[in-house]
């Protein structure tokens, strides 16, 4: 089983950016946690991060017929990007949305999730653990 994990803009700044909201652990630690979890569960994982909307769209399109599912934290593009929503719909892969912070308790502009409209499930406000739960959701789906 192959899972693609996509992270949007500024998530490469984890550990530096707003630690009171996103925590003190950095992006490398997040990647290590995801890789270790995938290895333990015997699934293949690719982790991709970009600060560019079009690159996220390209990566989703490239996953077509190559991956079994997508875990995505589109970061700020969550709340703005119809292009990412359309790409997820286009490839038709089971997708799971993750947000490190509890966006439901934050600003009004974070209350809409376009990408979430193409996702089967959302893990919100669970910190890095949300990614692991999202991977487990996809594993269980195919079990
Ligand atoms: C985020 C929440 C978004 O609103 C924000 O723009 C991010 C990170 C999260 O993981 O909590 O960059 O997706």
CA 102 to ligand 1 centroid distance, Å: 9
pLDDT of residue 143: 81
Give yes or no: 22 in active site: yes
Are residues 25 and 14 in contact, defined by beta-carbon separation less than 8 angstroms? Answer: yes
pLDDT digits (tens, 9 = 90+) for 119-134: 999 999 999 999 999 9
Distance CA 38, CA 108 (A): 34
**DSSP class of 106:** S
Model pLDDT for residues 5-48, shown as the tens digit of each residue: 999 999 999 999 999 999 999 999 999 999 999 999 999 999 99
Choice from 99, 104, 122 to test ligand 1 binding pocket (greatest atom count within 8 A of CB)? 99
Domains of the chain by start residue, with CATH:
7-142 (3.40.50.9100)
37 is catalytic: no
* Closest approach atom of ligand 1 to CA 124: 11
Rounded Cα distance between 33 and 59, Å, is 22
């Amino acid at each position: 089983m192959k899972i693609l994990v996509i992270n949007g803009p500024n998530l490469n700044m984890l550990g530096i950016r707003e630690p009171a909201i996103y925590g003190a652990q950095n992006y490398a630690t997040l990647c290590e946690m995801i890789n270790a979890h995938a290895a333990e569960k015997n699934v293949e994982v690719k982790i991709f991060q970009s600060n560019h909307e079009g690159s996220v769209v390209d990566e989703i399109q490239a996953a077509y017929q190559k991956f079994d599912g997508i875990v995505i934290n589109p970061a700020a593009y969550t709340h703005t990007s119809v292009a990412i929503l359309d790409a997820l719909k286009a490839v038709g892969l089971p997708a799971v949305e993750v947000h490190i912070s509890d966006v439901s308790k934050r600003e009004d502009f974070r209350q809409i999730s376009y990408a979430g409209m193409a996702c089967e499930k959302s893990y919100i406000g669970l910190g890095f653990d949300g990614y692991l739960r999202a991977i487990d959701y996809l594993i269980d789906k195919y079990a």
